[in-house]
A and B are shown apart, each in its own frame.
Chain A
């Protein structure tokens, strides 16, 4: 068996094939799944399937961790809800916390880190003041970074709570302002759906669109396997007669056709996600993405350095126009 991230993909996609694995493959799986923050998800997928006795303890541990993260994420969301109770307009939970709060399958066993929320851009000053008053503090009190975030980013500079040591990212749209696509943040907010506790989550289509946009445009594809697993779970759970046409029209509306189609196609190729036939047409770049997502060795270390570099450069390229990129990298380089 070839040793790379495909072992993790296999564990998620066809957990019963684990019956054929020897000790070495299990060791590789555990290391890669930990670094990709998917061991809790693997544990969920292997529920009820016989595994070697040593693996039982490792998976139990991963389940305990996932439950702890869910509990702390929901508690953190509630702290933010109380701090922002008097804000005009919706407070929308995003990513892992949203999946957990909405009880979606994507949250089962999922690692949840920082709290991500979205509010209307004109509510930002109010939100910022309320969070600071409730004990959150700036993480990077650096004037260049601060100005950069405020002028060019889709979120405030990160805040951390002084007692609970937990980070919050306050978004006002889903992509950096310097990126080419300009999603319609106002309509995402107006379509957002209320939870019982007064917080909101995106509509199904917008949830998938944000997940896809985040996967391809906002990062260097680190954590790609996890983000793509989110997309797999969301597509699988939302699939009904109306969903795909709704997804199509919302994607077109936000101008995110490339990212959403690529996400659905790669989820289909890697995880076997059911997607309509016209979403499956392969693209010559798909193999590069898959090789990048699965670039791990037997110890969970990153491999394929040249491919990683290509995607790193590409991620900055997509985030901002070339002249601005040069200026930004120059400033960051001088300061480091």
Chain B
């Protein structure tokens, strides 16, 4: 197996692949990241059967933690397979923080956290903000410290989908992008390497200051969200809340009590950025 190791925030990954090409692409895209020796999780890109290594090559997603029904992907989407496998390790394995399915950016030591269903735009918004004066902390997972409540970054490659690809290509140099993968189960996908400062300071936590529930495709609006609803929605957005028991409950209730929450609706990126900046300025 070809092997590649990478440290993303507090988690080290060992990625094995029976093909060399995906490892070369990963090494290229993760070039700014440290290489750990001891890793937290192993993931494997393997052929679904011996002949599918060569003929219409098909990647099975495997690792320390696996889902029995994870569908294989064609070799041209191996980068997506690696991303999904790494996410799976975090979602099923990580117990050192309360893990929220959310994106986050930081300014002045304070974190803005965005959570919502796939398609809400939380990933795109974090990428845009991360390239305009904010520090990008992550587009997939936010890790809340079980004692202090601080958010630890997990700035893996940003996974841009469909329209978001064009929007970011207009702003960011071409050598920061991975290959364009068309027709994946999630539509078109292109990975974007986070800004260098995001990777260099990925060990620096920030205090959560604002929680947003963005919704894309609606007339511009802002609504307060009741703490009870925030709590219920975040239990759904956390993959390890139940497993963490009392510590998870403490971290989540602390977060809900301490962090103001708003739902924002928007029809395009500019509207969203205006709303975000307004709400952020109102905090001060």
A37 nearest CB across to chain B (Å): 11
A134-148 contacts to B (CB < 8 Å): none
CA separation between A64 and B64, bound complex, in Å? 17
Q: Which residues of A contact B268 (CB under 8 A)?
A: none
A317 nearest CB across to chain B (Å): 27
Q: Are A68's CB and B243's CB within 8 A?
A: yes
CA separation between A301 and B60, bound complex, in Å? 13
B86 nearest CB across to chain A (Å): 15
A322 at the interface (CB under 8 A from B): no
CA separation between A60 and B96, bound complex, in Å? 8
Q: Are B64's CB and A54's CB within 8 A?
A: no
| Contact of A54 (CB < 8 Å), options: B40, B242, B244 | B40
Q: Which residues of A contact B10 (CB under 8 A)?
A: 57
Q: Are A27's CB and B245's CB within 8 A?
A: no
- Determine the interface band of chain B, counting residues with CB < 8 A from chain A: 20 to 34
A300 at the interface (CB under 8 A from B): yes
| Contact of A61 (CB < 8 Å), options: B1, B42, B94, B242 | B94
| Contact of B243 (CB < 8 Å), options: A27, A54, A65 | A65
Q: Are B42's CB and A27's CB within 8 A?
A: yes
| Contact of B245 (CB < 8 Å), options: A30, A34, A67, A301 | A67
Chain B residue nearest to A35 (CB atoms) is B64
A57-B10, A299-B1, A299-B44 known; A65+B95 contact, CB < 8 A:
yes
A35-B64, A299-B1 known; A57+B40 contact, CB < 8 A:
yes
Q: Are B93's CB and A61's CB within 8 A?
A: yes
- Determine the interface band of chain A, counting residues with CB < 8 A from chain B: 20 to 34
Q: Which residues of A contact B38 (CB under 8 A)?
A: 23, 26-27, 52, 54-55
B248 nearest CB across to chain A (Å): 10
1/0 per residue, CB under 8 A from A, across B213-257: the answer is 000000000000000000000000000001111000000000000
A267 nearest CB across to chain B (Å): 26
CA separation between A299 and B96, bound complex, in Å? 23
A296 nearest CB across to chain B (Å): 12
B37 at the interface (CB under 8 A from A): yes
B7 nearest CB across to chain A (Å): 10
Given A30-B42, A54-B12, A61-B96, 15 more A-B residue pairs with CB atoms under 8 Å apart are A26-B38, A27-B14, A34-B65, A54-B38, A58-B40, A60-B95, A61-B94, A64-B244, A65-B95, A67-B245, A68-B244, A68-B245, A71-B245, A299-B16, A299-B44
Could you list 26 A-B pairs, sorted by A, with CB under 8 Å?
Answer: A23-B37, A23-B38, A27-B14, A27-B39, A27-B42, A30-B39, A30-B64, A31-B42, A34-B64, A34-B65, A52-B38, A54-B12, A54-B37, A54-B39, A54-B40, A55-B38, A57-B40, A57-B96, A60-B95, A61-B93, A64-B243, A65-B95, A71-B245, A299-B42, A300-B64, A301-B44
